[in-house]
Structure 1
Amino acid sequence: MASLLMKNHSTTPVSQDTHSHSIGAALTFIVILLGIGVPVWWNTTTVQRAYLPLEELSNMVTLSENDQRFHILFKTTEDASVLVKKLQNDLSESEELSSYNFSIVPYPLNPKEVNILLSQNSIDAIDVGFEELSENNLLDGLSIVQVPSHYLPSGKVYIGRHNFLYISEETNFKSFCSMLASILSTYNLHENSIANLPISNQYNVLLTFATSNLNMVHPSLVSMFEENFAAFSKKFRHVSDLSISSQVVYIGNGHIGADYSTDNNAFILNEEKVVSLINILEPRLGNQLSSDPTFHWVLYVPHEEQSPMYIFKSSSPITTNSVLSPRWNGGGLQIVNGIEHSFAGLALCQLRNALGVFSLQNIEDSYVSLDYDESGVHAWELYLLTRRRTIQFLNQAMITLKSLSQLLEQIGNIVVSEEIKDLVVTSVKMVDAARRAIQNGNLQQAYRDAKVANVCAEKAFFDPSLLALLYFPEDQKYAIYIPLFLPIGIPVLLSLRSVYMHFLKR
């Protein structure tokens, strides 16, 4: 009996110690799991999201064209302020100009300009002299120059190659309003234009000479195109860079489905059949040249057995002997039967349209525009295009930033790195800087800032790191974490119950 009591007394402390050790082990496990494991898991699985001014991005407001105010200089040898006041009052009453936001600023001619005005004998020569003084700065802005009456027959208005508009005391007010409205209207033409190339900092121009015989591509034809496009590219670089390249494509025996017409003594290719020729050429045009927008223009030299060849629409020939292809970003195909300088002019004209450079429509012959130089584009045309593109770049950047803001608010799994944050912050700063430059009339700075803002916004939005978890649904988290935490969570909950009961008994 005594030995049995001794045995009971000896096991009771051991049982208590074992229970205490199990409680202690449970507490230790719980502390390690909740105090170390959960925080480490939380920190390692939390999506990295650098701070972005999402509210500022979502509140961005796009600009309209009227937010840009045109400051047109009025240059004269007389009292400019008096003439400007009269001219501004007269122009404000014109219905043609009522939708444009512009002001006339007096600016007296400097001695060098006066010397050119008095020493030259024609508007053409005066325009060349003024252009040399401006040092080819295409973004100076428009200037109205009052010249002696004998330079302008019948009081007509002359439009120079640079940024100068020429009037005299005998200039008809209606003609002047019509001319100014025509110029400013090219600023708004993009709304209903057929321009196919999107706005970009870099473009590719690919000239293709298609033939079945090497001897059919005359070297002068190639050089003629390259010279014309090189001059245009040199002047257009103030807006965007153009990369000009050419190639020769050989297409089998050169025979295509053209019908011979005895009445025209030529081969006739219906406009519908040109599609088959385009389909043959398209795989060879180098569409993978680069990621930049590419303008294609194809010159097809028909086989000598099918020459001459003309494109007909219905029963009448197409004057330019060419067709446009929407798939070629506003480019097209032209059939060449001989070496003519008009070929290069047609291709250059279509490139202008594709880039958004629009020509004046002087239906009433109310003004005279000086002939184009070898570049094929006037400075004031590029000036208006630059103003338009400044607004387009800014709006595109703001739309991209707002889309990014909405995307990040809707999908919480997307990682936002410091690099993306820097791009977004830079884009926002450049948008604000461009807005200030527009208000101050500094078009060059506004255009540069707008381009940087758009580039940074595009890089941020299309960054590969943003796309990694773009299509990762929230419910997928449960499929990953439940098998991980459920086997651990049940014993932890039971241990918590045991610990609670242990301290409750005590």
Structure 2
Amino acid sequence: MKYASKSSVDRQDGHSHSIGAALTFIVILLGLGVPVWWNTTTVQRASLPLEELSNMAKVSGKEQSFPILLKAINDAQVMANKLQDVLIQSKELLNYNFRVVPYQFSLEEVKQFSLQNSVDAIDMYFEELSESKLLIDGLSIVEVPSHFLPSGKACVGRHNFLYISEETNFNSLSRILHSILVIHDSDQNSITHLPISNHYNVLLTLATANATQIHSTLVSSYDGNFVAFSKKFERVSDLSISSQVIYLGNGHIKANYDTDTKKISLNEEKVVSLINILEPRLGSQLSSDPTFHWVLYFPHVNQSPMYIYKGSSPVVTNSVLSPRWNGGGLQIVNEIEHSFAGLALCQLRNALGIFSLQSKDTSYVSLSYDESGVHAWELYLLTRRRTVQFLNQATITLKSLSQLLKQIGNIVVSEEIRDLIVASVNMGENSRRALKSGNLQQAYRDAQASHKCAEKAFFDPSLLALLYFPEDQKYAIYIPLFLPIGIPVLLSLRSVYKHFLRR
């Protein structure tokens, strides 16, 4: 009997020890192991203003204050009020939030008019003044004596000035403003060949079939025109201009010879073969910035003069554009002329989104371009449109990023990414406030910064690392890890449950 009771006690002690060991293992696993595993496998996601991102909207026309400085010889305040009323009532300008500010000329400034002999001279005079003092960020309407302008007409200056006289009708003036604004702000013209960027490359290539035909004067002529343009365009973006000369051997391409005119004709479709020959020799780009290509091709002496034909008609400019060159193109040159640089510069303007006035409205005249080939008011309107484009692209990028982070929970969001997103949102709000107050330069700088931060956050490598990591892959990783441990734990729980149930 003693032996039997001792054996029973031993079994009970052994059972109690096994239950205690099971409880200890369960407590360690659930109390320590699971929390450590949970914390080490949880995806790091810094807090983001997701609600604010999802509510972001594109910039509307009414958010943009369009300041106009009316500088008058007579009563500036009365003229400003009258112009303000006309602009508000104009159906064509409903999408613009104009703010007309009066500026009364002093006697000394009026006296300066008598020293000038044309609107051109006055335009240069006011440009010098605007660099040292005056004005607000916007367009200026300047009243000049009537004898400087044709009766009732206005004059569009090279700088940020539109000249009128006391004979100019304000209703006509509103139509002039509409003609100037619509070509730069329309949705169709906002889509340019070159994407908006803070930096651009311009590559001018002289392709010749003769090794002795360098034409350094032509290259320097191109460089001179483009340098003047880039110096003025730096208010908007930086242009990096470079030129090169490439040789094409014998340079013979398939072209047709017209015995009557004794000219070599090249059909516009066949120019593609010439572009294919040139393209590998243009050189690889060392920069990711958008690049504008313009090629001057001097044909071989045996194929000169050569002219590009579209159907049966010759192309006046003897050039063809290439979509692959971001709005650039190729021009066949038979004789050296300085006017060739003007065509390339004109196409660069179009590629960058600068469009010339082509209205048939006879109520105004326009001053000719200086050597830079661009008016200051054109750059002003381009800056306005690019500010909106930068803000809208930043908005689209941030909203896309917000949706992506909501849909894919495995993407790591570091504090650096959060700081970029918050900075983009804040700079965007600052830009919108500056636009509303009429401070365009500040709005443009903030819009650039907002767009840059949004793009940098969206394309950060840390976000892309787990972009295509499917949820079901977790089961393939964790089941082999937890199944061998989980089965004994479940059995132990069953034993512990029965043990305490018997007691």
State TM-score, norm by structure 1: 0.95
| Aligned AA (2:367) | L
Distance, in Å, in 2 between the alignment partners of 1:327 and 1:115 is 55
1:45 aligns with 2:36: no
Q: Which residue of 1 aligns with 2:28?
A: 32
Match of 1:355 in 2: 352
Flag structure 2 segments of 5+ consecutive residues without an equivalent. none
- Going from structure 1 to structure 2, the CA distance change for 1:488 and 1:91 (only over 3 Å counts) comes to closer
The reply on whether 1:333 has 2:309 as its aligned counterpart is no
Offset at residue 91 of structure 1 (A):
4.5
1:186 Cα deviation after fit: 2.5
> What residue in structure 1 maps to residue 114 of structure 2?
118
Displacement, 1:364?
A: 3.6
In structure 1, the gaps of 5 or more residues are none
String of CA shifts for 1:105-150, please: whole Å, max 9, x gaps: 2112356643532321111111111111111899831111001111
Q: 1:397 and 1:379 mapped to 2: Cα distance?
A: 27
Match of 1:271 among 268, 271, 283: 268
Matches within 5 A, 1:394-413: 394-413=391-410
Partner of 1:255: 252
Of residues 289, 311, 316 in structure 2, which corresponds to 1:319? 316
Q: Are 1:70 and 2:70 counterparts?
A: no
Q: By how many angstroms is 1:200 displaced? A: 1.0
Cα RMSD of the aligned pairs, angstroms, is 1.9
Deviation per residue, 1:467-497 (Å, 9 max, x gap): 1111111111111111111110000000111
Secondary structure of 1:171's partner? Answer: coil
What amino acid is aligned across from residue 425 of structure 2 in structure 1? V
The equivalent residue for 1:299 is 296
CA distance in structure 1 between the partners assigned to 2:475 and 2:408 by the alignment = 17
In the TM superposition, residue 301 of structure 1 has moved relative to its aligned partner by: 1.0
Q: Deviations over 1:75-130 (max 9, x none)?
A: 01221011222333444555544554323221123566435323211111111111
Aligned residues: 502
Of 207, 221, 228, the residue aligned with 1:231 is: 228
* Contact 1:69 1:103 (C-alpha < 8 Å) held by counterparts: yes
Aligned residue among 481, 495, 498 for 1:498? 495
Residue 468 in structure 1 maps to residue 465 in structure 2? yes
> For residues 256 and 191 of structure 2, what CA distance do their matches in structure 1 show?
32
Which letter maps to 2:193? N
Shift of 1:260: 1.6
Which residue of 2 is the match for residue 346 of structure 1? Answer: 343
Q: Does residue 17 of structure 1 match 2:13?
A: yes
Q: Is the 8 A contact 1:311 1:318 kept in 2?
A: yes
Deviation sequence 1:217-238 (CA, Å, 0-9, x none): 3001111111111111111111
Report what 2:167 is aligned to: 170
Q: Check whether the contact 1:194–1:353 (CA below 8 A) recurs between aligned residues.
A: no
Q: What is the TM-score normalised by the length of structure 2?
A: 0.95
Percent of pairs with identical residues? 73
**Structure 1 CA distance, aligned partners of 2:177 and 2:386?**
20
Contact kept, 8 Å, 2:69 with 2:136, in 1: the verdict is: no
Distance 1:129 1:391 in 2: 32
Report the CA distance between 1:435 and its aligned residue.
1.1
From 144, 169, 179, give the equivalent of 1:182.
179
Which secondary structure does the structure 2 equivalent of 1:496 belong to? helix
CA, structure 1 residues 359+136, in 2 after alignment: closer, same or farther (shift >3 Å)?
Answer: farther
Q: Which residue of 2 aligns with 1:380?
A: 377
Q: Show the counterpart of 2:154.
A: 157
CA–CA distance in 2 between the matches of 1:391 and 1:328? 26
- Map Cα deviations across residues 154-203 of structure 1 (whole Å, 9 max, x no partner): 33211111101111112355653432221111232342466211111111
Q: 1:251 to 1:88 in 2, by over 3 A?
A: same
Among 455, 479, 483, the alignment partner of 1:482 is 479
Question: What is the match of residue 3 of structure 2?
Answer: 7
More off after superposition, 314-323 vs 93-102: 93-102
Q: 1:139 to 1:303 in 2, by over 3 A?
A: farther
Q: Is 1:158–1:368's contact at 8 Å kept on the other side of the alignment?
A: yes
- Alpha-carbon distance, 1:262 to partner: 2.4
Alpha-carbon separation, structure 2, partners of 1:389 and 1:342 = 30
